Amino acid sequence: MRRVIIDCDPGQDDAVALLLALISQDELDLAGITCVAGNVPLRHTVRNALRVRELSGRRNVPVYAGCPGPILRPLATAEEVHGKTGLDGVDLPEPDHGAEERHAVEFIIESCRAAPDSGITLCPIGPMTNIAMALVMAPEIRRSIREIVFMGGVALDLGNITPSAEFNIFVDPHAAEIVAKSGIPLTMFGLDVTHKALATPARRAAIESIPTPVAQAVGQMLAYYDRTDVDRYGDVGTPLHDPCVIAYLLRPELFEGRRCSVTVDTSDGPSLGRTVVDWWGKTDAPANCLVVSEIDADGFFELLNRRFAQV
């Protein structure tokens, strides 16, 4: 059983990822949920995490508010995708109680210090500001981090916020570069693979047919979330980016990838936030990241359906 911290900016796809983790308590030891500004400002991401936790019934999992903006840049958000609250389109219960008083970065540092070597897996599925700040403030915690499994970047495809950059990395490229250079084992779920995890009409209908509160809420989220990606990319459904990270922890056999050198472009200009992935091994740079590129999409949605039928 992995001990996990999920760092997020909910967001509909973040919410689906959180629900998958929260209801998989027999396989994931979820130490806490840390929130960062990203898809929407921090006040919304924290409230959304609390509402998702309330829906799952896992009120014992603590939620922490983190950094309200990137390290060096002004915050860029995505209300046009997720709505003004970040979770528009779904009716979620109001939280029974609020976030913890400690800052998210403090919680990450303290949790890693208390863990054995390679005892914690960090899962940033939003901008990596909280993770980078923890590594800068307490570099010794690297020994306790088994792996950083993140949603962000793109290797062989195009960006979704600029022609070359994916949103999470673009929002705080300097944080992402700190993480890339940390020496911690990394696993990257970029747009190359997440755009293959498509919630097609048939897959959405299968989720909507499950008569549980969680499945019904996920169906509402996907119905709202679907309205932009289909038009933008011409796909047959909306991609479920962030749940891929949690599915990998639960069923790694659903995914395939390649170990590569990954760096982040932090220079001002049109390539800001681009993940530079040495897919073909053209440099002597060491491979610091497993770049996931393939998914068994049917198996992925089968996993979601089974778990969402439980609660």
3-class secondary structure, 192: helix
Q: Which residues are catalytic?
A: 241
Q: Among 74, 59, 76, 107, which residue's Cα sits nearest to residue 9?
A: 76
CA gap 25, 7 in Å, rounded: 17
3-class secondary structure, 308: helix
CA gap 202, 212 in Å, rounded: 18
Helix pair angle (297-308, 201-208), 10° resolution: 20
Give the largest Cα separation in the chain, rounded: 53
Give the CA angle between residues 130, 28, 57 to the nearest 5°.
85
Q: Among 225, 273, 245, 233, which residue's Cα sits nearest to residue 79?
A: 225
Q: What is the DSSP letter of 238?
A: E
What CA–CA distances, in Å, run from 40 to 11, 15, 117, 161, 165? 8, 13, 34, 15, 18
CB-CB contact of 179 with 262 (8 Å): no
Q: How many residues does the chain have?
A: 311
